[in-house]
């Protein structure tokens, strides 16, 4: 991989050996197992250099989420993840008020005048200033959902997954926090600001809804590159280092063929790895009838015709 610049982030070499099946089922592939292109590496470095969020565009299965995990794993940075839903509000990502706890305290006559007893740090608070987030979380007492206090000041990666699922007002309401890398908690007046080094915020979209131009202008944008035969092979070699080249190539051809026969569904790495996993675990060879049936079972297209 050529890098005619001085990078902040450099992908580490892939570890040797075959990952355990428990680590590769579904979407649980190890973060270090990621094939970076020059374009992807450059986008990550530009985001780190500018302090801007990295907005990653691409279809489901194109590697957007695993990119964030891989950067964190490769650099041994803290990793946090929040999946955006239709009910997510912008302030949920900054902080929330535990209204139920406050109501219960009021009913019991023990309500605290100090709002810190009811403020719950959100994902961006933990990303910007994990130390103050840990202090604030301590006001709430032990909680299974509270992240552990960070050990030292490590750079961290925050993944905001599927921003296009949120109401259109959410990206607009995040303009100042992600632009300034800071926000103020209304109830306490406390200012939360990202220190040095600033976090890497990776935001993904499946393009199901257009994002406001003002929001995208504050981001470094990356369109996930399309998958061709060579890139699928490179991914297969990393995830299945002991698989025969013939199998890796045949499955790549199967997935690419499926992408040409389906409406609005491009081939992606997730499907390729699923088919490879099925073949390796079930001892299916490219010559078998079962292999020809895989296109219908795993890819949703008519089965390939046998010779």
Q: What is the pLDDT confidence band of residue 23, given thresholds at 50, 70 and 90? A: very low
Q: 34-223: which CATH topology?
A: Rossmann fold (3.40.50)
Q: What is the pLDDT of residue 307?
A: 42
HSE on the CB side for 86, CA within 13 Å? 2
Q: What is the pLDDT confidence band of residue 166, given thresholds at 50, 70 and 90? A: very high
Q: What is the mean pLDDT of the chain?
A: 86
- Coil, strand or helix: which one is 14? coil
Residue 67 carries which DSSP code?
A: H
What average pLDDT does range 171-187 have in this prediction?
A: 95
Tell the burial category of 109 from Cβ atoms under 10 Å away from its Cβ (0-12, 13-18, 19+).
exposed
Q: What is the pLDDT of residue 144?
A: 44
Predicted confidence (pLDDT) per residue in 74-108, tens digit: 899 999 999 999 999 999 999 999 988 888 888 88
Predicted confidence (pLDDT) per residue in 234-254, tens digit: 999 988 999 999 999 999 999
What average pLDDT does range 150-163 have in this prediction?
A: 81
Predicted confidence (pLDDT) per residue in 281-302, tens digit: 999 999 998 988 887 888 877 7
Predicted confidence (pLDDT) per residue in 41-54, tens digit: 999 999 999 999 99
User: What percentage of residues in the chain have a pLDDT greater than 90?
Assistant: 58
CA distance 13 to 25: 22
C-alpha pair distances (Å), 11 with each of 16, 47, 83, 130: 15, 15, 25, 25
More confident residue, 57 or 111: 57
Kindly list the domain boundaries of the chain, sorted by start residue. Answer: 34-223, 229-299
Q: What is the pLDDT of residue 22?
A: 45
CA distance 30 to 115: 40
Q: What is the CA radius of gyration of the chain?
A: 22
């Amino acid at each position: 991989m050529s890098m005619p610049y001085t990078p902040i982030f450099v992908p580490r070499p892939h570890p040797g050996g075959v990952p355990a099946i428990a680590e590769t089922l579904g979407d649980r592939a190890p973060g270090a197992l990621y094939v970076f292109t020059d374009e992807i590496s450059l986008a990550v470095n530009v985001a780190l250099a500018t302090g801007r969020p990295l907005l990653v565009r691409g279809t489901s299965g194109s590697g957007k989420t695993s990119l964030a995990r891989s950067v964190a794993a490769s650099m041994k940075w803290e990793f946090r993840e929040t999946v955006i839903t239709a009910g997510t509000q912008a302030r949920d990502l900054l902080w929330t008020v535990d209204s139920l706890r406050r109501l219960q305290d009021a009913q019991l006559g023990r309500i605290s005048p100090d709002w810190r007893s009811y403020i719950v740090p959100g994902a961006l608070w933990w990303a910007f200033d994990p130390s103050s987030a840990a202090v604030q979380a301590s006001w709430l007492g032990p909680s299974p959902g509270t992240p552990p206090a960070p050990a030292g000041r490590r750079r961290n990666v925050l993944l905001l997954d599927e921003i296009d699922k949120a109401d259109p007002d959410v990206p607009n309401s995040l303009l100042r926090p992600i632009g300034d890398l800071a926000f103020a908690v209304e109830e306490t007046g406390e200012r939360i600001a990202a220190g040095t080094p600033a976090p890497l915020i990776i935001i993904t979209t499946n393009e199901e809804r257009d994002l406001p131009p003002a929001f995208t202008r504050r981001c470094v944008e990356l369109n996930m590159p399309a998958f061709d035969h060579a890139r699928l092979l490179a991914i297969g070699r990393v995830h299945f280092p002991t698989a025969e080249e013939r199998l890796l190539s045949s499955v790549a051809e199967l997935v690419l063929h499926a992408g040409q026969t389906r409406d609005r569904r491009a081939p992606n790495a997730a499907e390729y790895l699923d088919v490879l996993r099925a073949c390796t675990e079930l001892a299916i060879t490219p010559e078998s009838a079962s292999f020809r049936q895989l296109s219908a079972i795993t890819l949703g297209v008519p089965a390939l015709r046998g010779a």
